[in-house]
């Protein structure tokens, strides 16, 4: 049987192809070790690349929700602090009402109490127009405009309080999860009553104290109590909301850890194994170069490759 002769060019092409393939594998391993990624392109492993992409998208979405929740947390904390101050103001006015209802009290003392109520009224108006992050806390959906405006007499005293004609109602909704919407504001109408009832109560109490009218002073107990109840209810709602936001933040944090772990498993490199593989490929390449040189007896092969 005649012997089939293989040309030098064919041998050279086969050896060059083998060496080129090993060189490509080495280059790929070097790049992977450098950036720590096993899957650097979809063609490397389409299934793992798709998994890594999904985990990255979920992580980005969770990070956005986490940032929104952190912003809501800061806003809620500021609102709770303002509600606490409002409660203190109305409680002080209520205390003045109780003390002033004693008919044994001199009129001068009641007039002094009226002056204190006037100060509390000014403070209450200031708190009602509280601003946070450039918006009015109790302005409802129209929170770029002050919700309450004082009407003053010639001496500068508040004699009435009007509301933003565009309204102070409405909920501010934030999406903090794929299917989670939260109302994050307290509307002024819910907190201070219809037509600013809390302000009208303080104005009426001040007038009753100035007049020394015990019956009218005592009649203010009910509206002052209602004003406090509204603040307590709003504070309770905000407290419950803060608890829920804290729980959602905890969940978002756990999801971020889970998504990062999934992405890492799908995409990241086992560096220790990759280093071993790289060393093996480098040894194999050197062996292939040596064998090729011997087979072809071409001492310049190392330089060509």
Q: Are residues 79 and 114 in the same domain?
A: yes
More confident residue, 80 or 276: 80
Q: Are residues 106 and 247 in the same domain?
A: yes
Q: Are residues 122 and 247 in the same domain?
A: yes
CB 227 within 8 A of CB 90: yes
Task: Name the domain count of the chain.
Answer: 2
Residue 58 domain-assigned (yes or no): no
151-157 long-range Cβ contacts below 8 angstroms, 24+ apart: 157/118
Identify the top-confidence range among 7-11, 16-20, 128-132, 282-286.
128-132
Q: Are residues 104 and 234 in the same domain?
A: yes
Residue 60 domain-assigned (yes or no): no
CB 125 within 8 A of CB 161: yes
Q: C-alpha distances in angstroms, 114 versus 102, 198, 226? A: 14, 16, 20
268 DSSP assignment = B
> Which of 33-42, 140-149, 232-241, 250-259 is predicted least confidently?
33-42
CATH number, domain containing residue 184: 1.20.1330.10
More confident residue, 259 or 272: 259
Pairing of strands 158-163, 148-152: antiparallel
Give the pLDDT score at 96: 97
Q: Are residues 117 and 84 in the same domain?
A: yes
Residue 53 domain-assigned (yes or no): no
Task: Provide the domain limits for residue 277.
Answer: 8-36+269-304
Q: Are residues 96 and 239 in the same domain?
A: yes
Nearest to 189 by CA among 210, 168, 171, 162: 168
Residue 5 in this model has a pLDDT that exceeds 60: no
Q: Are residues 280 and 250 in the same domain?
A: no
> CB-based contacts of 191: which residues, under 8 Å, 6+ apart?
83, 86, 128, 138, 198, 230, 231, 234
Q: Are residues 188 and 245 in the same domain?
A: yes
Give the pLDDT score at 277: 59
Residue 285 domain-assigned (yes or no): yes
Q: Are residues 134 and 98 in the same domain?
A: yes
Element (H, E) at 180: strand 180-183
What CA–CA distance (Å, rounded) separates 98 from 224? Answer: 10
Name the H helices within the chain: 8-35, 46-100, 107-128, 188-192, 197-211, 214-219, 221-267, 271-296, 301-304
Residue 274 domain-assigned (yes or no): yes
Q: What is the mean pLDDT of the chain?
A: 84
Give the pLDDT score at 256: 93
Q: Are residues 281 and 189 in the same domain?
A: no
pTM for the full predicted model: 0.75
């Amino acid at each position: 049987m005649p012997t089939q002769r293989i040309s030098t060019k064919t041998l050279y092409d086969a050896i060059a192809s083998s060496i080129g393939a090993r060189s490509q594998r080495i280059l790929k391993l070097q790049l992977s070790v450098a950036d720590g990624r096993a899957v650097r392109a979809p063609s490397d492993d389409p299934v793992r690349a798709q998994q890594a992409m999904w985990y990255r998208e979920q992580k980005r979405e969770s990070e956005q929700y986490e940032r929104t929740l952190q912003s809501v947390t800061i806003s809620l904390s500021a609102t709770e602090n303002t509600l606490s101050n409002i409660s203190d103001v109305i409680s002080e006015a209520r205390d003045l009402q109780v003390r002033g209802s004693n008919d044994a009290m001199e009129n001068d003392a009641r007039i002094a109490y009226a002056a204190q109520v006037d100060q509390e009224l000014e403070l209450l108006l200031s708190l009602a127009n509280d601003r946070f992050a450039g918006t009015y806390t109790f302005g409802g959906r129209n929170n770029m405009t002050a919700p309450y405006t004082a009407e003053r007499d010639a001496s500068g005293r508040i004699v009435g309080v009007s509301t933003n004609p565009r309204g102070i109602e409405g909920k501010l909704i934030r999406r903090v999860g794929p299917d989670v919407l939260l109302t994050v504001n307290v509307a002024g109408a819910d907190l201070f009553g219809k037509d600013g009832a809390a302000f009208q109560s303080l104005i009426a109490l001040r007038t009753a104290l100035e007049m020394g009218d015990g019956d009218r002073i005592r009649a203010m107990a009910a509206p002052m109590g209602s004003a406090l109840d509204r603040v307590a209810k709003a504070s309770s709602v905000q407290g419950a909301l803060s608890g829920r936001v804290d729980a959602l933040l905890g969940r978002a944090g756990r999801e971020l850890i889970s998504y990062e772990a999934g992405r890492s498993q799908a995409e990241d490199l086992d560096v220790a194994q990759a280093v071993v593989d790289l060393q093996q490929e480098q040894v194999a390449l050197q062996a292939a170069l040596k064998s090729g040189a011997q087979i072809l007896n071409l001492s310049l092969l190392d330089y060509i490759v």
